[in-house]
Amino acid sequence: MSGIRFGAFVHGLNPPEELFAQARRSEELGFDSLWTGDHVSFHNPLQLSKRYSQDFTPLAERYGIIGTPSQCAEQIERFVQAGCRYFLMNPIAERQDQRERIETIAAEIVPRFRS
Protein backbone atom coordinates (compact mmCIF):
# COMPACT_ATOMS: atom_id res chain seq x y z
CA MET A 1 0.00 0.00 0.00
CA SER A 2 2.28 2.74 -1.17
CA GLY A 3 1.42 6.31 -0.38
CA ILE A 4 0.36 5.65 3.21
CA ARG A 5 2.21 7.97 5.60
CA PHE A 6 2.46 7.95 9.38
CA GLY A 7 3.34 10.78 11.74
CA ALA A 8 4.10 10.42 15.44
CA PHE A 9 2.72 12.74 18.12
CA VAL A 10 4.77 13.66 21.18
CA HIS A 11 3.56 15.68 24.10
CA GLY A 12 5.03 19.17 24.21
CA LEU A 13 5.23 19.15 28.00
CA ASN A 14 8.49 17.21 27.86
CA PRO A 15 11.82 19.04 28.32
CA PRO A 16 13.45 20.09 25.01
CA GLU A 17 16.21 17.47 25.31
CA GLU A 18 13.59 14.73 25.56
CA LEU A 19 11.65 16.13 22.60
CA PHE A 20 14.83 16.14 20.50
CA ALA A 21 15.57 12.55 21.53
CA GLN A 22 12.02 11.53 20.63
CA ALA A 23 12.34 13.30 17.27
CA ARG A 24 15.57 11.44 16.47
CA ARG A 25 14.06 8.10 17.56
CA SER A 26 10.88 8.70 15.53
CA GLU A 27 13.02 9.33 12.46
CA GLU A 28 15.01 6.13 13.13
CA LEU A 29 11.74 4.21 13.44
CA GLY A 30 10.65 5.44 10.00
CA PHE A 31 7.87 7.88 10.86
CA ASP A 32 7.32 10.49 8.14
CA SER A 33 6.79 13.40 10.50
CA LEU A 34 6.73 14.37 14.16
CA TRP A 35 3.96 16.48 15.70
CA THR A 36 3.39 18.11 19.05
CA GLY A 37 0.53 20.11 20.51
CA ASP A 38 0.52 23.53 21.99
CA HIS A 39 -2.01 22.81 24.70
CA VAL A 40 -2.58 20.42 27.55
CA SER A 41 -4.93 17.59 26.66
CA PHE A 42 -6.17 14.42 28.28
CA HIS A 43 -4.71 11.28 26.77
CA ASN A 44 -6.48 8.46 28.51
CA PRO A 45 -10.26 7.98 28.42
CA LEU A 46 -10.10 6.25 31.81
CA GLN A 47 -8.59 9.41 33.34
CA LEU A 48 -11.42 11.46 31.86
CA SER A 49 -13.99 8.94 33.07
CA LYS A 50 -12.67 9.14 36.61
CA ARG A 51 -12.37 12.93 36.62
CA TYR A 52 -15.90 13.58 35.33
CA SER A 53 -17.64 10.50 36.81
CA GLN A 54 -18.83 9.23 33.46
CA ASP A 55 -17.61 6.73 30.90
CA PHE A 56 -15.61 8.32 28.07
CA THR A 57 -14.74 4.94 26.53
CA PRO A 58 -17.52 5.05 23.86
CA LEU A 59 -16.32 8.48 22.74
CA ALA A 60 -12.70 7.31 22.58
CA GLU A 61 -13.73 4.20 20.64
CA ARG A 62 -15.78 6.25 18.19
CA TYR A 63 -13.11 8.85 17.42
CA GLY A 64 -9.90 6.95 18.19
CA ILE A 65 -8.14 3.82 17.05
CA ILE A 66 -8.06 1.60 20.10
CA GLY A 67 -7.07 -2.01 20.77
CA THR A 68 -4.27 -4.44 20.16
CA PRO A 69 -1.87 -3.73 17.29
CA SER A 70 -3.87 -6.13 15.06
CA GLN A 71 -7.16 -4.46 15.99
CA CYS A 72 -5.65 -1.02 15.36
CA ALA A 73 -4.36 -2.13 11.95
CA GLU A 74 -7.84 -3.38 11.04
CA GLN A 75 -9.35 -0.03 12.04
CA ILE A 76 -6.71 1.87 10.06
CA GLU A 77 -7.46 -0.33 7.05
CA ARG A 78 -11.07 0.88 7.08
CA PHE A 79 -9.81 4.47 6.85
CA VAL A 80 -7.40 3.51 4.03
CA GLN A 81 -10.28 1.92 2.12
CA ALA A 82 -12.20 5.19 2.56
CA GLY A 83 -9.29 7.13 1.01
CA CYS A 84 -7.24 8.31 3.99
CA ARG A 85 -3.50 8.41 3.24
CA TYR A 86 -2.04 10.12 6.31
CA PHE A 87 -2.29 9.06 9.92
CA LEU A 88 -1.10 10.95 12.98
CA MET A 89 -0.38 8.43 15.71
CA ASN A 90 -1.03 9.87 19.19
CA PRO A 91 -0.84 7.02 21.69
CA ILE A 92 -3.20 7.00 24.63
CA ALA A 93 -0.69 6.57 27.40
CA GLU A 94 0.81 8.21 30.41
CA ARG A 95 3.75 10.40 29.41
CA GLN A 96 6.31 7.91 30.75
CA ASP A 97 4.76 5.12 28.62
CA GLN A 98 4.45 7.08 25.39
CA ARG A 99 7.83 6.08 23.97
CA GLU A 100 7.04 2.38 24.39
CA ARG A 101 3.68 2.85 22.62
CA ILE A 102 5.31 4.68 19.69
CA GLU A 103 7.85 1.85 19.41
CA THR A 104 5.00 -0.68 19.30
CA ILE A 105 3.17 1.31 16.62
CA ALA A 106 6.37 1.53 14.55
CA ALA A 107 7.15 -2.17 14.93
CA GLU A 108 3.72 -3.78 14.73
CA ILE A 109 1.33 -1.47 12.85
CA VAL A 110 3.18 0.79 10.40
CA PRO A 111 4.98 -2.07 8.54
CA ARG A 112 1.61 -3.56 7.56
CA PHE A 113 0.99 -0.49 5.40
CA ARG A 114 4.46 0.03 3.94
CA SER A 115 4.46 -2.81 1.41
Cα separation, 40 vs 33, whole angstroms: 21
| Top mean-pLDDT range of 60-64, 89-93, 97-101, 109-113 | 109-113
Indicate the pLDDT class of residue 42, thresholds 50, 70 and 90: very low
User: How do the domains of the chain map onto residue ranges?
Assistant: 5-113
- With a CB cutoff of 8 Å and minimum separation 6, the contacts of 102 are 8, 10, 22, 25, 26, 29, 89, 91
Report the chain's mean pLDDT, rounded to a whole number: 80
